[in-house]
Structure 1
Amino acid sequence: MSGAHPADPIADAFEAHRGRLTAVAYRVLGSHADADDAVQETWLRLSRQDADTIDNLGGWLTTVVGRISLDLLRSGRTRPTVALDDHLPEPTVTLNDESNPEDLVALGDSVGLALLTVLDALRPDERLAFVLHDVFAVPHGEIAGILGKSTDATKMLTSRARRKVQRARQSAGDRQQQREVVGAFLDAAREGRFERLLEVLHPEVEFTVHTPSGRFVTIGATEVAGRARMAGGAAHGHPATVNGRPGVIAWNKDGTPLSVLAFTVAAGRITEITAVVDPARLALMGLPDPA
């Protein structure tokens, strides 16, 4: 927020809601930059509004940021995806608690972070309705006002969006099986078991590595298996979830990030591996500290 006086009560009230507004906008838009733009525009509209005419500031702000986000989605200006390769500074990376990994998955879904990879299946109005209602518990009546629809029509929209998300989740495959496949790959990489690596890699697996010198791609199970240690110690890293995909984070001895790997698993085999070993890129990713 720019130009606001620290003692301005309206500015203070807005700041109290900023975190939630940013969370709403990010989960709708899938981009930190677009979410910041939406929140900034919300502030500008509030600054031009007579505050005395607003009965419920939180509801008013949610409505405004929702409408702005919807307009951005409909305009096509934003790209609501979080592919690791396309948005390297913005991935969602969380450490897996090995004692209770299912709780981590449930938490990721409930706050809408892992869902960013499947929300592309929704139309803009479905996406907004689903995020506001199922993630942030905004009543259907309020969402209806944002969308310009009746409450009943909005309920139907949310229900349809929920079914689409459920289908997208199911098509992504079983997460536990995916983690087991990735675990088998990492074990084989640590032990140097070439044949075992070939068993868990798809014949046309694609391995993309982002290094300080650029982006390098290796295709084919034999080639990828032969370079499985290319991430420099990642096989000894900590299990993580990277944009909803199974992954691994490794750190240097001084606690700085060494590498991030993200895996795509289909039909029990790894089809894609993305590795980031460029310190400059890693520094921008906001990675968690070593466990």
Structure 2
Amino acid sequence: MDSTAVERFEAGRDRLASLAYRLLGSAADAEDAVQDTFLRWQAADRERIEVPEAWLTKVLTNLCLDRLRSARARHERAAGAWLPEPLLEGDQMLGPADTFEQRESVSLAVLTLLERLSPVERAVYVLREAFSYRHAEIAGILDITESASQQHAHRARARVAAGRRRGGEADPASARRVAEEFLAAAASGRTERLVALLTDDVTAVSDGAGLGRRLLRWETPERVASFVRAGFKPTPAKRRLAGGSPAMHIAVVNGCPAVLAVVGDRVVGAVVLDVGDGKVASLRGIAAADRLARLNEAWRQYEPGAPVIDAW
């Protein structure tokens, strides 16, 4: 393959990766899908491809749909132990963030809700909401009619809207302030301070550091506050598991405020908050090392401010 063809592909690599990430919820799987797309591009009769961007988008999207439909993917996602992979702010895989819809489409809350959609509904939603494709273009990518694309988009938007718990988009300063208050309350040992920061229909999900086969879930402010307090209570066993006494940082992950536990230059845990109207509507705790791999790569290049808590 000549250098021009390679350069043309590389020029669109970040866009393809951000599309694949939204479709699959996994950075590692997204990278594999992009590489598979490159192999198809390498083997294609490129002189007959009139619009390379459209061709690459179609190939990548359908490769992602194949992955979502695979028996392995259905088993992993139905087994109750799957969470989207978190990405640190500035990661190119997060893709376009010019509109509220684009920013929301990459939040962990929405990526989790997309699991409720069929693969085609998910693809239509992502192409339409995050990348502003017209329905005629989506129809060509997915080999469906324009009317079917519109119907899939309507159903997908309705299902996502029905599952969202928070209000409008929080500005970054307000979201960080809520995260700082959340961390202070969690570290204080007073669950009533936590309850006051949670919405009435708050939910919490944890991967249990990847030690179990299923996710752990809590509902109601009181139960979520008890879970958070227990999780943030330092013990020798937790410090041994973490490899030391972590510093606690506030960062932005998938567009949302997050509390990161950091030992040395390694993030050992992340609690990502879904904030709206000054309260936490949901939170996701992720500590499984394989789900934090890409975030850790980015963290080593990141310039964080001073930790909120020096040593936990």
Deviation at 1:77, TM superposition (A): 3.7
Cα displacement string for residues 62-107 of structure 1 (whole angstroms, at most 9, x for unaligned residues): 11111222222222443697xxx7569x422349xxxxxxx99948
TM-score, with structure 2 as normaliser: 0.63
Distance 1:208 1:69 in 2: 24
- Report 1:122-201 matches (<5 A): 122-169=117-164, 171=165, 183-190=180-187, 192=188, 194=190, 196=192, 199=195
Over the aligned positions, Cα root-mean-square deviation in angstroms equals 4.5
Partner of 1:228: 232
How far apart, CA to CA, are the structure 1 residues paired with 2:133 and 2:256?
Answer: 28
CA distance in 2, matches of 1:87, 1:178: 22
State yes or no: 1:261 paired with 2:256. Answer: no
Q: 1:234-273 maps to which residues of 2 (within 5 A)?
A: 237-241=249-253, 246-251=257-262, 256-257=265-266, 259-262=268-271
Q: Is the 1:246–1:264 contact (alpha carbons within 8 Å) kept by the matching residues of 2?
A: yes
Cα 1:108–1:140, aligned 2, differ >3 Å: closer, same or farther?
closer
Report the identity percentage: 31
Correspondence for 2:103 = 109
CA-CA distance at 1:248 after TM superposition: 0.8
Contact in 1 for aligned 2:87/2:294 (Cα 8 Å):
no
On the 8 A contact 1:94/1:240 being kept in 2, the answer is: yes
Secondary structure of the residue that 2:270 maps to in structure 1?
Answer: strand
Partner of residue 11, structure 1? 6
Q: Say which SS state the counterpart of residue 232 (structure 2) adopts.
A: coil
Deviation at 1:186, TM superposition (A): 2.4
Partners of 1:208 and 1:149 in 2: CA distance? 37
**Which structure 2 residues correspond to residues 41-56 of structure 1 after superposition, within 5 A?**
41-56=36-51
Distance in 1 separating the partners of 2:190 and 2:119: 46
1:285 to 284, 295, 305: 295
Paired residues in the alignment total: 265
Matched residue type, 1:39:
V
Unaligned runs of 5+ in 2: 91-96, 240-244, 306-312
**1:49 CA drift (Å):** 2.1
* Cα displacement string for residues 179-229 of structure 1 (whole angstroms, at most 9, x for unaligned residues): 887654422345x35363574599x98877649xx78x9x97668646634
TM-score, normalization: structure 1?
Answer: 0.67
SS of the counterpart of 1:159? helix
- Distance in 2, Cα, partners of 1:206 & 1:60: 38
